Amino acid sequence: MKIILANPRGFCAGVDRAINIVEKTIEKYGAPVYVKNEIVHNKAVVNSLRDLGAVFVKEVGDVPDGAVIIFSAHGAAMSAYSEAKNKKLTILDATCPLVEKVHYNIRKYSRDGAKIILIGHKGHPEVEGHLGQIEEEIYLITKSEDVALLPFDKGEKLAYITQTTLSRMESESIIKELKSRFTNISGPSKGDLCYATTNRQMAIEQLVGKIDLLLVVGSTNSSNSNRLKELGEAVGIKSYLIDEPQNIDLSWFDGCKNVGITSGASAPEYLVQELVKNISEKFPICSVEETHAVEEKVKFPMPVELN
């Protein structure tokens, strides 16, 4: 059996920055440090930071007055920042700059008088943060069929934005439907999808015809990891999402000669290497190869409070 590792895979710049923010905040202020929501959607990462002294909470109200709070990479509603200030919390912001760009566009479109449509998945922390950027209603849609249900006239002034971790094919089809139905709709010129989301999806597309099985290392609540698994299925590859390297079913490998492995943008590389080791202990492996779709050189600066 041959193992082919997709590239790029694993941590994006926003995730790497968010994890560093938690670690350096604990170094500077001491434990405990409170984090609103999971800093990134990966169980192994969250558990390792919890061991260092991070306490993950759902609501700002769960944080003691005067403590230190970090807002996760997914961003948060404006009301959460106001509540944190009222509680005299020391605020560190780990919101991914690409998510912040979407927040900026929401406020810009709103100032321009447009009604805003958000393409995303209900309940995801990033989506909740987007919805809380302005007081006006933002209309959330998830699939192309939702476009017909929007309560707008054909020529009404509209703008769309998207969750950063959607499938490229998924978002493109919805945007096409929006533009077809509404003549006066605008959106970001380069789109809102995260570069890492797009690159990891492209890396899977390069594996089409080369693998019989795709294993995606990532947690079940990770949007971009789920999209990688769904993309594999969409292009006809038997695909599974694995949270931990030991969680493999040997029946997946029946008749399999070439296994592709990738990981979501919030999954650490050591989990990929543990998965390779686990497979190698159960099956004879002739080689482990790496593909190369695109080289990522993106880096985001740390908050000034931690410089």
CATH code for the domain of 50: 3.40.50.11270
Catalytic residue among 38, 126, 230, 274: 126
Residue 144's nearest CA partner among 116, 179, 115 is 179
Report the CATH number that the domain containing residue 148 is assigned in CATH. Answer: 3.40.1010.20
Same domain, 206 and 268: yes
Same domain, 264 and 279: yes
Average pLDDT, rounded, for the chain: 96
Helix, strand or coil for residue 184?
Answer: coil
Q: What is the mean pLDDT of residues 23-38?
A: 97
Q: Could you give the CA distance from residue 236 to residue 259 in angstroms, rounded to a whole number?
A: 14
Percent of the chain with pLDDT over 70: 100
What's the number of domains the chain is made of? 3
- Contact status, residue 45 vs residue 21, Cβ threshold 8 Å: no
Same domain, 186 and 110: yes
Residue pLDDT, tens place only, 100-115: 999 999 999 999 999 9
Q: Does position 293 have pLDDT exceeding 90, yes or no?
A: no
User: Is 183 contained in some domain?
Assistant: yes
Q: Where are the beta strands (DSSP E) in 129-217?
A: 138-141, 158-162, 185-186, 213-217
What residue type is 17 in one-letter code?
A: R
Same domain, 66 and 112: no
Same domain, 200 and 286: yes
User: Is 296 contained in some domain?
Assistant: no
Same domain, 242 and 279: yes
What residue type is 36 in one-letter code?
A: K
Q: Does position 129 have pLDDT exceeding 90, yes or no?
A: yes
Task: Identify whether 126 is a catalytic site residue.
Answer: yes
pLDDT at 189: 78
Q: Whole domain around residue 279: which residue ranges?
A: 2-11+195-290
pLDDT at 276: 97
Q: Does position 298 have pLDDT exceeding 90, yes or no?
A: yes
- Contact status, residue 133 vs residue 103, Cβ threshold 8 Å: yes
Residue where a domain stops, chosen among 79, 96, 113: 96
pLDDT at 190: 78
Helix, strand or coil for residue 105?
Answer: helix
